[in-house]
Amino acid sequence: MKPSGNTILITGGGSGIGRGLAVALHALGNQVIIAGRRQSVLDQTTAANPGMKSLVLDVEQPGNIRSFAADVAAAFPKLNVLINNAGIMRAEKLLSQPDDLADAEAMVATNLLGPIRLTAALLPLLQQQAGATIVNVSSGLAFVPLILTPTYCATKAAIHSYTQSLRYQLKSTAIEVLELIPPYVATDLMSGANDPRAMPLHEFIDKTMAILTTQPTPPEICVERVKGLRCAAGGGHYDAVFNGLNAAMADVH
């Protein structure tokens, strides 16, 4: 991915990792458009970063996505980077779930179906560009799950698989497909903002940007701190990492 001169859409761009990426990419001279559910949060981010744009989008609602994509194409015809970052993470007790499974279904709709639907809707526009990039944000928990939030981990594992297939199917096009694999980062997701065990957000963004803007960009963007999870199975350490992770995080809720 080239460092500057892009028109970039970031879902979930008003807070957390999405906001951190938006600010960093904006500072490099890119036109950044952030999307999210809450107008007030988007407004706070754009006010602090003059020239950044925002659009309201709830990726959990499929009826919004096609019309949103049409609005993006009309307003930003040079869009060449899509970062599928929006996500929600909720704790679940599988032995005592409510009958409606609202939390599980919301995570599937937001974390998995949202990126799939938005990517499909924007692919025609991305194909019109001389070069384009799709970045799907998964998680280290795609590779070693945190048992407190099983559906979240399952959606991120699915995003990893989907990204691999998308990359292969688009290999004959000018669209590169990248996967950003964060570790446990200090954000409001699952109340981790003040957890000393989490990687500070600014540190994660700095290290991620150093990888994201290298030429050529690697297909998987992994800071050093997530490699223990990403490589656990391949390194023959899965059981130890799984047990250690879930023992260490047993009090996160």
Assign 188 a pLDDT band (cuts: 50, 70, 90).
Answer: confident
Residues 201, 236: Cα–Cα separation, whole Å: 29
Q: Give me the pLDDT at residue 158, please.
A: 98
C-alpha dihedral, 210 to 116 to 72 to 63, nearest 10°: -150
Q: Give me the pLDDT at residue 122, please.
A: 98
State the first-to-last Cα distance of the chain, in angstroms, to the nearest integer.
36
Q: Give me the pLDDT at residue 14, please.
A: 95
Q: What does the DSSP 8-state code read for residue 109?
A: I
**CATH code of the domain in which 200 resides:** 3.40.50.720
Among 44-48, 94-98, 133-137, the minimum mean pLDDT is found in 94-98
Asked if the structure places residue 243 within a domain, the reply is yes
Number of domains into which the chain is organized: 1
Assign 200 a pLDDT band (cuts: 50, 70, 90).
Answer: very high
Q: 210 is in which domain, residue-wise?
A: 7-248
Residue 250 predicted with pLDDT over 90: no
H/E segment holding residue 45: helix 39-48
Q: Residue 78 class from Cβ within 10 Å (0-12 exposed, 13-18 middle, 19+ buried)? A: exposed
What is the mean predicted confidence (pLDDT) over 114-133? 98
Q: Give me the pLDDT at residue 139, please.
A: 98
Asked if the structure places residue 222 within a domain, the reply is yes
Q: Give me the pLDDT at residue 151, please.
A: 98
Give the chain's mean pLDDT: 95
Asked if the structure places residue 1 within a domain, the reply is no
Biggest distance spanned by C-alpha atoms of the chain: 51
Q: Give me the pLDDT at residue 191, please.
A: 67
What is the mean predicted confidence (pLDDT) over 15-32? 97
What is the pTM (predicted TM-score) of this model? 0.96
Instruction: Provide the percentage of residues in the chain whose pLDDT is more than 70.
Output: 98
Q: Give me the pLDDT at residue 59, please.
A: 92
Residues 35-73 have pLDDT tens digits of: 999 999 999 999 999 999 999 999 998 988 999 999 999
Q: Is 184 in the active site?
A: no
Asked if the structure places residue 203 within a domain, the reply is yes
Helix (H/G/I), strand (E/B), else coil: 121: helix
Output the CA–CA distances (angstroms, integers) from residue 235 to 75, 140, 224, in the order listed: 47, 15, 15
Asked if the structure places residue 2 within a domain, the reply is no
Asked if the structure places residue 39 within a domain, the reply is yes
What is the mean predicted confidence (pLDDT) over 180-207? 90
Catalytic residue among 152, 162, 168, 184: 152
State the Cα angle at 59 between 57 and 65, rounded to 5°: 75
